Amino acid sequence: MSKYQEQLNQLQEATQRLVEVLGVEKTSITRDSAIQRFEFCMDLTWKTLKTYLEEIHGVIVKSPKETLRAAYQQGLLEFDKSWIEYVDLRNETVHTYNELLAEKTYETLPGFLKLLQTLNAKLASR
């Protein structure tokens, strides 16, 4: 199994775990779990795209935002500024914790999940 395929499998599993936690009643515990799963998904997303770009297209990228821009250029992602905003949000949630940020983040997760599921379907069909 290639590195890309392994990462794609991990991303798909992480996506399902995010679906799972967003499908249960919100408590402070499930909210925090959802945020942690969002962070995992965001990390796996850019790393999976990075590997895909390198292995399939020979495109070398170094950072999450650079990876997303290259993925747009290669047609892997539809242009959506939300991806860049999710990278920024992930960086905030990893380095800062407060209730306001946690609530704001949790409220954005259904939109993130929709983008992530679309990306997963696109990558799985390649």
Question: Which amino acid type is present at position 14?
Answer: A
Q: Across all residues in the chain, what is the average pLDDT? A: 95
Q: 3-124: which CATH topology? A: Four Helix Bundle (Hemerythrin (Met), subunit A) (1.20.120)
Q: Is the pLDDT of residue 104 over 90?
A: yes
pLDDT tens profile 73-90: 999 998 889 999 999 999
pLDDT tens profile 20-40: 999 999 999 999 999 999 999
Q: At what angle do helices 99-124 and 82-95 cross, to 10 degrees?
A: 130
What pLDDT is stored for residue 61 in this prediction? 97
